[in-house]
Amino acid sequence: MAQLIIESDQVFTPDIVLAEVARKYVREGYDDSTVKKRLDFMHDVSAVVSIDREIAVTASKCYIEMVEKSKELKQPKPGLADAIVLAISRVKDAKVVTGDMHFRPFKETIWLG
């Protein structure tokens, strides 16, 4: 994944991903200072994208699409955060680099498996 980031013209991080990453590290027992350093790194290597009206509307459509696809594939229901990530990739004409199964069926995905 690091190579993809290095070779990209632009890298975007949805702001909600910062919260998800922080939650993961806190849950794993990292101290606040370490968590903040990791979030600072994400800020340094990417443009953090906030939810605006266009992304909100696109996310609502992405959510419905993801729920339908999850039902079809007999997967657990995705979260709204997943739909926000997909929406930002569509609005920014970008790719989602992930191993999250909810994204696998979508053309915006670079699958890490």
Q: What value, to the nearest 5°, has the Cα angle with vertex 61 and ends 58 and 64? A: 150
- CA–CA distances in Å: residue 98 to residues 35, 44, 106: 21, 20, 11
- pLDDT above 80: residue 98: yes
The string of pLDDT tens digits covering residues 6-34 is: 788 899 999 999 999 999 999 999 999 99
Mean pLDDT of the chain: 95
44/53 Cα distance (integer angstroms): 25
Please tell me the pTM assigned to this model: 0.90
